[in-house]
Amino acid sequence: MIQRFLNSQTKSISSASLILAISYLMSAFLGLLRDHLLAGTFGAGNELDVYYAAFTVPDFIALILIFGATSSAVIPIFSSYLIKSKEEAWEYVSTLFNVFLGFLIIICIILIIFTPAIVSITAPGFSDHKKELAVMLMRIMFLSPIILGASNMISGILQVFHRFLVTALAPLLYNFGIIIGILFFVPKFGLQGLAWGVVFGGILHLAIQLPAFFFSGFRYKTNFNYKDPGVAKTIKLMVPRSLGLGASQLNTIATTAIASTLMAGSIAVFNLANNLSSILVTAVAVSVSTASFPSMSMAFLKDDGDEFLRKFSSIFRQIIFLVVPISLLLLILRAQIVRIVLGAGKFGWADTKLTTACLGILALNLIAQALILFLSKTFYAAHNTKIPAIVSGLTVAFNITLSLLLVWLVRFSPGFNFFLQDFLRLGGVANIGVIALVLAYTITVVLQSILLFYMFYKKFPKLKTKEISDSLYKILLASLIMGVFTFIVRQFLGSIISLQTFWGVFLQLSVSGTVGVVTYALATHLLKSPENKIVVDSLLKKFIYPVK
């Protein structure tokens, strides 16, 4: 029974998206619990600064060496092999595993040796003691790219077989492992328990997928031919993608490096606010784009341009339909979200105010973040990894420059500093340098999404933009109606209940949010938004009258 559950296949994009979205949403709740525990245990201070700084380079390695290969190369190349011969397809996977994981292990060993020098570059503002802690955590976390590298390659293969359920459970278990680390490893091992929790999460991420992977037909072979045509093509496709991902991760590394020169807690606040803002985007954009990627890749391989663009338009509009109201709700209810999720233990009132301000700014870029994820995946499905890489590289340079400029203005321009404090209601909060980083990041992400869409339209001029603009008009109108009702309910509840208690704030958040969601659903229904019908039909087919 468990085996059938884990090996179950999903027949349609909407069903696959729904499974992934629900799983990512569950993982998001675990992520909220994780951040709640981190904030309550350590506060926005030195310990969390060290923890998030130690994450940067291991994440960078995993992204450029494995995640790039999985999303841009492994799925389309494995699919093309599979059309010809299953045996050749599995030969390719086995050879790829041996070559890439062997190379990854060597790289991680070298980086473990040179970790002190790496920390000095990525966190130049840290004191000697904080650098020593970051070195210790980073060395442990270098185990994570190896484990997650193997696991994410397996995820890509399983998605070709439409086994989205088991791949959707993996991120959930990853967060569960980190929570185990906070609750059980930290009391025993101290701060390094956080790093061991990350490694444990990676092991769980891998372990849940192995049975389905072997059930799909994989049999390990000791092939180590780095000149294999499939491996060579994978490298050719993944290099531009990896450069693009590397550029994006360099954004994070640069932001961390700049934040390390600001007041203690800046890295922690940026990451906690960014996690809160991106959780639902992950549930929507990643689930939809991941579920659609194999079929879009197949449509492109079959040289069916009309079908490719039809799928693109439909998915693009669904993402906007879901993310626009989420962004607006997050903006309106940002203070309540921060107080409920993070406002406990050592996470003080100043931390709460600063994180709320950061979250409000980040809410403005959620649509751009979602579209970047989808547009990049679409380019990969079309076997074009150069455009996302070039756009990403340009925007990284822009972000670093803008971050340094805005940080300088916060430090040396009293007028700009006063404007930010007054506009964002940060009176009495000294550590507002991180606001400059959040502003720069938001502006950069919006610019990147615009450039990607422009380049996609240039490459595929037959795209029906009127279809998209008509849907966007209805979505924006419905979101505006939702925003008005949500704001009125929030203010009304704030005037009749005590907001000095957890349950008072929770009631305000849950009721206001529910009113907003219901209002948006009704408004899009009355406006006859086609995306409303697609989402409703998907839910009905999945839960009310499933197709057998």
Any domain includes 278: no
* List of residues 6+ apart from 181 with CB closer than 8 A: 193, 194, 195, 196, 197, 198, 200, 201
Residue 24 pLDDT more than 50?
A: yes
Any domain includes 81: yes
Largest CA distance in the chain: 71
Any domain includes 412: no
Please give the structure tokens belonging to residue 465. Answer: 């933009």
Residue 380 pLDDT more than 80?
A: no
Any domain includes 139: yes
Overall number of domains in the chain: 1
Please report the pLDDT score of residue 368 as a whole number.
Answer: 92
Does this model's pTM top 0.85?
no
pLDDT digits (tens, 9 = 90+) for 480-535: 999 999 999 999 999 999 888 889 999 999 999 999 999 999 999 999 888 887 76
Domain range holding 245? 46-264
Choice between 365 and 224, residue whose per-residue pLDDT is larger: 365
Any domain includes 28: no
Q: What sign does the CA torsion over 226, 72, 287, 12 have?
A: negative
Residue in this structure with the two tokens 């359920």, named with its chain if needed: 165
pLDDT digits (tens, 9 = 90+) for 415-447: 888 888 888 888 777 778 899 999 999 999 999
203: how many CB neighbours lie within 10 A of its CB?
17
Q: What is the DSSP string of 359-413?
A: HHHHGGGHHHHHHHHHHHHHHHHTT--HHHHHHHHHHHHHHHHHHHHHHHHHHH-
Query: In angstroms, rounded to a whole number, what is the distance separating the alpha carbons of residues 304 and 127?
Result: 57
Any domain includes 90: yes
pLDDT digits (tens, 9 = 90+) for 265-319: 899 999 999 988 887 776 677 667 666 666 777 777 776 567 788 888 888 888 8
Any domain includes 226: yes
Please give the structure tokens belonging to residue 129. Answer: 């003691």
Any domain includes 191: yes
SS3 per-residue string spanning 295-332: HHHHHHHCCCHHHHHHHHHHHHHHHHHHHHHHHHHHHH
Of 289, 269, 283, 427, give the one whose Cα is nearest residue 361: 269
Choice between 190 and 229, residue whose per-residue pLDDT is larger: 190
